[in-house]
Amino acid sequence: MATIKENIQEVHRRLAKACTDAARPPSAVRLLVVSKTFDATAVREAHAAGERAFGENYVQEGLDKIHALADLRAGIEWHLIGPLQSNKTRVVAESFDWVHTVDRLKIAQRLSEQRPLGLPPLQVCLQVNISGEASKSGLAPEAVPALAVQIAQLPRLKLRGLMAIPEPAADLESQRLPHRHLARLLRSLQDQGLALDTLSMGMSADLEAAVMEGATLVRVGSAIFGSRPVQP
């Protein structure tokens, strides 16, 4: 069975090939290692293999790993990529570097108010329900522009771009379509004068499609750590 380091190397090969196929420089796309359900030891192993950005879906699990890996804190960028409830905003504002799942003004306002002055601005993305799935969180695409303008004005936050988790699709062209829609939405916001630079889209199964449509941050977990442990 391949090691975490070997899996990371393979993911980087996939990313490099996807960038080449899309006529994009490899430096245009960053890998976000999704470490949810895997322990701090696995994160430490990925860090030793050169990775610095890690994504967590659950606030408490992320906090536990941040504390367990306090000795690496200066060299790790922690991203919250799961739902955020208003009663958890303070600990997230105090402990994480990025939040990808902002979809309400109230959440953004609380993060802004609760971000400690001694820390850099919290980097945030708006989550878009790009496939219109009833089971998915996120903004409807038509609701994004108004909220983006409001959040871009909040202190202690830096609005970076958009994030989406498209509905799974079997073939490459079907995978590309929702990513293309998200990229168009980002460009429309840029045309309105918002200084955005991030498209957080693409995972283990569809990273090639995401890169071809302009992803700048690809979230990969299972291709690195293997199948996730069954939750009790």
Residue holding tokens 């690195």?
224
Mark residue 82 as left, alpha or beta (left: phi above 0; alpha: psi -120 to 50; beta: remaining): beta
Integer angstrom CA distances of residue 168 from 23, 74, 129, 202, 209: 25, 35, 13, 11, 12
Residue 232 has a pLDDT of: 47
Residue 229 has a pLDDT of: 62
Residue holding tokens 């069975």?
1
CB 46 within 8 A of CB 4: yes
Residue 230 has a pLDDT of: 56
CA atoms within 13 A on the CB side of 93: 24
Residue 71 has a pLDDT of: 97
d(CA 115, CA 15): 33
Write the DSSP symbol of residue 231. Answer: P
Tokens representing 211?
């890169």
Integer angstrom CA distances of residue 45 from 70, 138, 225: 15, 32, 10
How many CB atoms lie under 10 A from the CB of residue 86? 12
d(CA 101, CA 124): 8
Flag whether the pTM goes above 0.75: yes
Residue 28 has a pLDDT of: 96
Tokens representing 64?
């536990």
Q: How far is CA 101 from the centre of its chain?
A: 8
Mean pLDDT per 10-residue interval, the chain, length 232 residues: 95 97 96 96 97 98 98 97 96 98 98 97 97 86 97 98 94 95 98 98 96 98 84 50
CA atoms within 13 A on the CB side of 144: 29
The alpha carbon dihedral of 190, 195, 200, 202 has a sign of positive
How many CB atoms lie under 10 A from the CB of residue 203? 18
